[in-house]
Amino acid sequence: MIYINKKIALAAMALVMLTSTIACKEGRTTTIVNKTDNESQKIKYSGKIVFTKDETGIEHISDGGYLEFEQNGREFKAEDDRKGHVTYEFNGDSKVTSLSQEQKAFVATAVKQIIKTKATLR
């Protein structure tokens, strides 16, 4: 009888440890890949991402969250800097917070594509 109780206690302890590990995980990551003969697109994100009202930019990304967008060889990564600002990396270059007109246009295209893709998945 004592042997069975020890097994139950060990199983319960293992379950608690497993649950704690899963609960501590920083959200899930979603990856969406679209490929045709002429185009390729990859969207990968984690956390909560809020787009601007006009759907041309990123207003906010939750702590630890990020958005990666790649289309036909061009890419950027946007993430929170833990100070409430969104930082961007374009094609592996250094991080920036203010964007050139070309970078703004690329982000706007990406946001519109992401919204369109998410809508078709629902």
**CB contact set of 39 (below 8 Å; sequence gap of 6+):** 71, 72
Using alpha carbons, select from 20, 118, 16 the residue that is nearest to residue 67: 118
**Confidence class for position 20, pLDDT limits 50, 70, 90:** very low
Whether the pLDDT of residue 67 is over 70: the answer is yes
**CB contact set of 59 (below 8 Å; sequence gap of 6+):** 50, 51, 52, 86
- The pTM of the full predicted model, rounded to 2 decimals, is 0.74
Whether the pLDDT of residue 70 is over 70: the answer is yes
Distance CA 95, CA 74 (A): 16
pLDDT of residue 12: 46
What residue spans of the chain are helical by DSSP H? 2-24, 101-121
Q: What are 44's two structure tokens?
A: 């990968």
Cβ neighbours of 109 (radius 10 Å): 14
